[in-house]
Structure 1
Amino acid sequence: MKKKSNYVADAGVIAALYVVLVLVFAPISFGPVQFRVAEALTVLPFFTPAAIPGLFVGCLAANFLGGAVLWDTLFGSLATLLAAYLSYRLRANKWLVPVPPVVVNAVVVGLIIRYAYGAPEAVPFLMGTVFIGQLGTAYGLGMLLLHLLQPIKNKIFKSA
């Protein structure tokens, strides 16, 4: 029972952190060129499987509260869920953990920006701008976070 409670608590904290980071940095979290600081948290599946639902719920709530359209809220969150699951599966090599959020979000969010929001830019351009933002957040900030948390992971993630 304690393990399950820890899992839910870890997922809830990760979701809350994601929402706060998206909303605090809202001006750069949405749009064709985005640098979603919360995406640094996409390395957390390296430490705990609780990050998978935590990131999904956090993205869902952040998109809803941030005013995203229905298709963005739904499919953007599902993209985060898929990326988090794939990151967890790649946790044997910490350098591969950020790959799924970068690639999955570049494709899915690029399409969402074009078709759900009607952005005039070409899909490859939009995928490229999301890809660059994801590189900066998932790899840049995310790998920094991973290395900072690695020595203290057992004190932070009780469900791991």
Structure 2
Amino acid sequence: MRNNLTSRLVKTALVAAIYVAITLIISPIAYGNIQFRLSEILVLLSFADPLYILGLTLGCFVANFNSPLGPIDVGLGTFATFLSVSSIYFTSKYMKNGKMSLFIASLWPTIFNGIIVGWELNFMFSLPLTLSILQVALGEFVVVSIIGVPVMSKLFKKYSFKVTERAV
């Protein structure tokens, strides 16, 4: 039991650290109204196991301390990630159509981050609300759905994540 807890804590910390590292390395394109936060590909890990929800949320929380939006992004941006990864997990739990369910699950970050971060940009910088929502959503869609789904599908197959039982 103790080894299982240790393993879970290490996995959570490792995912959080990787998320933060990738975000900070690409920080010029990871924040703002047009953002391509490549670390967001990792949110699809929650499709395979709810264990990753905590690590991804924690990683986003820490990475958002570098955000030009300040404390509001630490709170609301992290909340958007939590909603996204939780929804991704529940999509995998209730939809059993492998590749289709992974693609549908990948849309949650587009929706939640688009609306919440788009609103943050509008509130903090007086950017046009609809345009901000669409720009953030587009970045999320490109990173998570277009790039992330094929990458994670291959990763799930190669490393035999339990999700492969559903033929992703």
User: TM-score scaled by structure 1?
Assistant: 0.89
TM superposition shift of 1:5: 2.1
- The answer for unaligned runs of 5 or more in structure 1 is 156-160
TM superposition shift of 1:27: 0.5
- What does residue 120 of structure 2 align with? 112
- What does residue 7 of structure 1 align with? 8
Change (3 A) 1:152 1:6: farther
- What does residue 153 of structure 2 align with? 147
Alpha-carbon deviations, 1:99-134, whole Å to 9, x = none? Answer: 21110000000011111x32x331010000001000
CA contact 1:76–1:105 (8 Å) conserved in 2? yes
- What does residue 48 of structure 1 align with? 49
Aligned residues: 155
Select the structure with the greater relative contact order (CA < 8 A; seq sep ≥ 6).
1
What amino acid is the match of 1:108?
I
| Partner Cα separation in structure 1 for residue 68 and residue 159 of structure 2 | 34
TM superposition shift of 1:67: 5.2
| Partner Cα separation in structure 2 for residue 49 and residue 154 of structure 1 | 16
Which of 79, 85, 106 lines up with 1:98 in the alignment? 106
Question: In the TM superposition, what are the counterparts of 1:46-85 in structure 2 within 5 Å?
Answer: 46-66=47-67, 68-85=69-86
- What does residue 36 of structure 1 align with? 37
| Partner Cα separation in structure 1 for residue 40 and residue 18 of structure 2 | 11
The runs of 4+ residues in structure 1 deviating greater than 4 Å are: none
| Partner Cα separation in structure 1 for residue 89 and residue 55 of structure 2 | 13
Secondary structure at the residue paired with 1:94? helix
User: TM-score scaled by structure 2?
Assistant: 0.85
Higher helix share: 2
| Partner Cα separation in structure 2 for residue 80 and residue 19 of structure 1 | 13
CA contact 2:73–2:120 (8 Å) conserved in 1? yes
**Identity between Structure 1 and Structure 2 (%):** 25
CA contact 1:47–1:153 (8 Å) conserved in 2? no
| Partner Cα separation in structure 2 for residue 96 and residue 3 of structure 1 | 31
TM superposition shift of 1:153: 3.4
| Partner Cα separation in structure 2 for residue 150 and residue 130 of structure 1 | 27
| Partner Cα separation in structure 1 for residue 66 and residue 7 of structure 2 | 26
1:131 aligns with 2:137: yes
- The answer for unaligned runs of 5 or more in structure 2 is 96-100, 162-168
TM superposition shift of 1:151: 1.7
